[in-house]
Amino acid sequence: MRMNDDAKILVLGPHTDDGELGCGGLMAKRKAMGHEVHYAVFSSCRRSVPDGLPEDVLVTEVKAACRVLGLDPDDDLTLLDYDVRTFPENRQAILDDLIRLRQTLRPDVVLCPSLHDIHQDHATVAREALRAFKCQTILCYEEPWNNIAFATNAFERLDEEILDIKMRALECYESQKKRPYFTQDMMRSLAITRGCQLEGGYAEAFEVVRYML
């Protein structure tokens, strides 16, 4: 499976940092290749910000991470403000936002969390993406700490430079450093593991939900 050179890519992040964790390498690589890459984030998780930090700290951090990945926070980032852990009850509004993104951006490829993701916000975005994007290729990105199952049936190869860009983007999230999955060792190990499935190197893996020929 090859992505067309002119494919427009839309990454859906339930929360700030989800897109970078799941497919930051793809975002950086494809942006450098000249693709249009847009990142839509549905919550800046103000209620989950660690004590002592500004409640909008994740807004600052996601913008910084976008710059590292090569995205323009003013043009390539849509930041919505749903309250964390309330997505199921806001399902219809989220679907409406996804449809607006489809109509405005006209993406060819959409990346979202896995349909097997156990976080309620992630699961809602994944399910509603299937409803909103019926004529687009849909790939689910990997976040092992939330996935009860994950089929690695699509890959994006990453070289050392692109993997380093992904790592530097994640370093922008100072507020999240205490989370066990937010470590250089974990993310690099995952990239090595997925690269091993391709007989070496680094990679990100994806589930194919729909592929448009």
Report the share of the chain in percent with pLDDT over 70.
100
With contact defined as beta carbons under 8 Å apart, do 212 and 136 qualify? yes
Domains, in order of start, for the chain:
8-210 (3.40.50.10320)
**Is residue 14 packed enough to be buried (19+ CB in 10 Å), middle (13-18) or exposed (0-12)?**
buried
Nearest to 123 by CA among 132, 134, 114: 114
pTM (predicted TM-score): 0.97
Helix boundaries (H) for 33-84: 57-69
Q: What pLDDT digit, counting tens, does each position of 59-75 carry?
A: 999 999 999 999 999 99
Q: What pLDDT digit, counting tens, does each position of 25-84 carry?
A: 999 999 999 999 999 999 999 998 998 999 999 999 999 999 999 999 999 999 999 999
The number of residues making up the chain comes to: 213
Q: Which phi and psi angles does 57 have, rounded to 5°?
A: -60, -35
Q: Which phi and psi angles does 101 have, rounded to 5°?
A: -60, -40
Tokens of 112: 């979202």
Q: Rounded to whole angstroms, how far apart are CA atoms 89 and 191?
A: 35
Which stretch of 12-16, 119-123, 183-187 has the lowest confidence by average pLDDT? 183-187
pLDDT, residue 139, reads 98
Nearest to 152 by CA among 187, 188, 109, 203: 203
With contact defined as beta carbons under 8 Å apart, do 62 and 131 qualify? no
**Is residue 53 packed enough to be buried (19+ CB in 10 Å), middle (13-18) or exposed (0-12)?**
exposed
Tokens of 63: 């913008």
Q: What pLDDT digit, counting tens, does each position of 84-138 carry?
A: 999 999 999 999 999 999 999 999 999 999 999 999 999 999 999 999 999 999 9
pLDDT, residue 4, reads 84
